[in-house]
A = this chain, B = another copy of it.
């Protein structure tokens, strides 16, 4: 098998995209160390999903790094402001979403870089996607390339010329429907994942937030039933 057990660090949120990325890294023969973050999310369901997904797909290690992005404020995902839905979300469609967390992928990739250096790994995987999330600056290919260039100047291995670090973004040009198709081919159990920005206390997804709408559309385009339970199934309510 290609890569034959080479170590790789995979950023794993517990969502649909990162679960698919983990399955892709495994299918390429990497021995995966999965990295999740506890960063003041309003719900810990994501981390529980990350644990289930890591166990299901198979990893060497799964670590959860604690960081506190709330210290700076600045986003609906970590502050106590409402997650936008329906019309509010559509109005933001051409700008950068309010759910954007400042410098989040920069911070997550920096931690992945630290762990990769300790593991002597030259491969980091991240599930960024340029089509569905074009509003997030740190999901674009030019950002990823700039991070890779920086990372190769930041580390012992890069400076000593021993190995060139690569940031793998296997989903970057895929639609949500294509991501789901790829994951299903690799046997990903999407009932273990969590995508909703605003789940009910029992874990049911809201079905209406940015992330839920994209996910449901992806399953619909594959003519497949999303295995997740949703709180409402009757489509979007007016705000």
Q: Give A residues with C-beta under 8 Å from B.
A: 63-69, 71-74, 96, 100-107, 110-111, 113-115, 117-118, 137-138, 140, 142-143, 146-147, 149-151, 153-156, 158-160
Contacts and interface: CB of A to CB of B under 8 A. Distances in A.
* Most chain B CB neighbours (cut-off 10 Å) among A67, A142, A154, A156: A154
Nearest to A137: B159
A63 B110 CA distance: 20
A12 B209 CA distance: 39
B117 A154 contact: no
Given A101-B114, A102-B113, 18 more contacts: A63-B71, A64-B71, A66-B71, A71-B115, A74-B114, A74-B118, A102-B118, A102-B155, A105-B154, A106-B110, A106-B114, A106-B150, A106-B154, A107-B110, A107-B114, A137-B154, A137-B156, A142-B153
A117 B110 CA distance: 17
Contacts of A138: 153-155
Contact of A153 (B65, B117, B143): B143
A163 to B, nearest CB: 13
25 contacts: A65-B67, A65-B68, A66-B67, A66-B68, A67-B67, A71-B115, A73-B118, A74-B117, A96-B159, A96-B160, A102-B115, A103-B111, A103-B117, A103-B155, A106-B151, A107-B110, A107-B111, A107-B114, A137-B158, A138-B153, A140-B153, A143-B153, A146-B153, A147-B150, A149-B149
Contacts of A100: 156
Pairs of residues from A and B, 5 with the lowest C-beta to C-beta distance, nearest first:
A103-B114, A146-B150, A74-B118, A102-B117, A137-B159
- Number of copies of chain A assembled together: 2
Given A72-B114, A114-B72, A149-B146, A154 B65 contact: no
A102 B114 contact: yes
A69 B147 contact: no
